[in-house]
Amino acid sequence: MKGPRITLACECGAQEWVRYGESWTCPSCGRRYDTTRIPSEEYGQVAALDRRYKIGNWIVVSVLAAVVLVVALTGAIISIFAGLAVALLGWFLYIRPLVHRSHKNAVSKLTRSWNLEAEPE
C-alpha cells in the first residue's frame, strides 16, 4: 500500500501531487523539487496513519459483506434489502463522516508544513 501523495507548490504558482521519494520539475518555470528531503520519520507517521484508516475501512466493508452473505444464505430476501439499506444508510450518514473527521484531525496533528526549496540548477 503506497503512502499518501504530497502536494508540491512551486514559487510560480503551479501545483502537483507526487509520491514520497519522487522529484518534480515545474512545467512552467523549470524548478526542480525533491521529496526525499522531507524527513522520512515524519512522513512515515502520516503514511502509517493513512494505512490504518484504509485497512479499517476494508475491515468494515468486509464485515458488512459477510453479514449480507449470511443473511442471503438464510434465504430471507426481504431482510437482505432492508438490512442492507439500513446498514448503508448508517455507514454513509453517520459512521463514515465520523471516522473521516477523526482521521482528518489525526492527520492534521501529524502533518507538517514542509518547506522544500527548489534545487539549485
**Residue 89 pLDDT greater than 70, yes or no:** yes
Domain span holding position 7 = 1-38
The number of distinct structural domains making up the chain is 2
Distance CA 77, CA 36 (A): 54
| Percentage with pLDDT > 70 across the chain | 96
pLDDT the model gives residue 1: 61
* Cα dist from 112 to 42, 81, 88, whole Å: 8, 45, 35
Are the CB atoms for 11 and 96 separated by under 8 Å? no
Q: Are both 103 and 49 inside the same structural domain?
A: yes
Q: Are both 56 and 93 inside the same structural domain?
A: yes
Q: Are both 32 and 47 inside the same structural domain?
A: no
Of 12 and 120, more confident: 12
Grid coordinates representing 51?
494505512
* Residue 118 falls inside a structural domain: no
| 27 residue type, one letter | P
Q: Are both 46 and 29 inside the same structural domain?
A: no
Q: Please choose, from the candidates 98, 94, 119, 106, the residue with its C-alpha nearest in 3D space to the C-alpha of residue 4.
A: 106
| Percentage with pLDDT > 90 across the chain | 12
Q: Please choose, from the candidates 13, 17, 43, the residue with its C-alpha nearest in 3D space to the C-alpha of residue 28.
A: 13
pLDDT-based confidence at residue 87 (cuts at 50, 70, 90): confident
Q: What is the mean pLDDT of residues 56-81?
A: 81
pLDDT-based confidence at residue 121 (cuts at 50, 70, 90): low
Q: Looking at the DSSP assignment, which residues form a beta bridge with residue 8?
A: 16
Q: Are both 62 and 107 inside the same structural domain?
A: yes
